Amino acid sequence: MTSTTVDRPAATSERGVASRLPSLTGLRWIAALLVFGFHAGTMRIIADPGHQAVVGKIFTLGLSGVQFFFVLSGFVLVWSARPGASRRRFWRRRFAKIYPNHVLMWAVAMLAALWFADPINPVAAVENLFLLQAWDPRPGYFYSVNNVSWSLSCELFFYLCLPLALPLVRRARPGLLWAVVIAVPLLIVALWPAQTLVPQEYRWWFTQVFPLVRSLEFWMGVAAAELMLRGRWRGPRLPVASLIFVATWVVAGQWIRAELWAAILSAAYVLLIAAAADADVRGSRSPLRSRPMVWLGEVSFAFYLVHVFVIMTIMRLSGDWGSGFPGWWGPAAVIGFLLLTLALAALLHRYVEQPMMRRLAPPRRADRPGPPVADRPAGPLNPQVG
């Protein structure tokens, strides 16, 4: 297995150039597609048992696409952090990125609930609006309104924490960073016996939603990115990492006990993410940074926010909610939902996400000089080192 040891090429001597990792944008689409496939297999779109079994088998582990997002988010945010950038600028950019799309989908989902005469829990609705729902363990609260937004509640918590923790991350010894990367899969496994300490009705929330627990994956990505920035990361190159990802996906879904899935996949995901970043830094071949993949990655956030609402609403309007579409209409409906959601996501990205980012995010400008070199360990990709 070829080891990834990042050297600082001349093209990445400026942080702005080094920060552009289009392959990681492409990976965002893969993560979103995994989540879509999982919901396509669990929302009873397909009535035929044979067709349903195929989709379910392929996307058995699709729920881990959110885990993929969390690891990727930690990696990207540390990699792109500018020396001297203020916390306020960071928080403002993150707010501008996630909140406009979220508020729009919240309003649309609330209108749909009124249309279908669904009961509305005002407390759950307010929690959802302000992205506090992931902290509420009560059933019907953390999955409320546009239910996929629970992950944004977790992300908001990560965004609040990272600027506070980043100075410590920058000063951490490589051994400690490696300890984080290695410990996260072990801690994820430990959640299974730990959940017995939580009341039965809250166990799903504790292992799958609770922001403190889900932050483990985020901090894994943070540690991996810092190691790579210092030239201390060791891992496979992109072709091998991709094979490990596919093999892990197949093996885990078929032969590995469910309580080990998330731990094994977290390791496969961080290897793939780091390898994709390395490919961009080196300029080596990466299909993930092709123009279609980058575009799909750019609209993936909107795609993720829209997909469950689109599926649920159309199936309710068609009268097929709970029963699914018969025969080959089921697989055709899945493809139709995919294309329709992608089209709506493109519109949301083009006419809401991008304009609101320009309006709400702070203007891009050169940040103030970072701390002295002595304040951060030197490394091949440390932009403070000449």
pLDDT tens-digit map of 280-319 = 999 999 999 999 999 999 999 999 999 999 999 998 888 7
Let me know: does 244 contact 52? Beta carbons within 8 Å.
no
State the pTM of this model. 0.89
Give a yes or no: residue 311 inside a domain.
no
Give a yes or no: residue 112 inside a domain.
yes
Give a yes or no: residue 141 inside a domain.
yes
Domain containing 143 equals: 72-250
**Does the pLDDT of residue 252 top 90, yes or no?**
no
pLDDT tens-digit map of 48-97 = 888 888 888 888 888 899 999 999 999 999 998 887 788 999 999 999 99
DSSP readout, 46-85?
B-SHHHHHHHHHHTTTGGGHHHHHHHHHHHHHHHHPPTT-
The C-alpha angle with vertex 278 and arms to 273 and 280, in degrees rounded to 5, equals 100
> What single DSSP character describes residue 362?
P
Give a yes or no: residue 291 inside a domain.
no
Give a yes or no: residue 338 inside a domain.
no
Distance of alpha carbon 361 from alpha carbon 355, whole angstroms:
10
Span 104-118, mean pLDDT? Answer: 94
Let me know: does 21 contact 79? Beta carbons within 8 Å.
yes
Distance of alpha carbon 141 from alpha carbon 128, whole angstroms:
8
Give a yes or no: residue 81 inside a domain.
yes
> Given this model, what pLDDT does residue 17 score?
42
Largest CA distance in the chain: 66
Structural domains in the chain (count): 1
Give a yes or no: residue 337 inside a domain.
no
Give a yes or no: residue 79 inside a domain.
yes
Burial of 168 (0-12, 13-18, 19+ CB in 10 A): exposed
Size of the chain in residues: 386
Let me know: does 151 contact 83? Beta carbons within 8 Å.
no
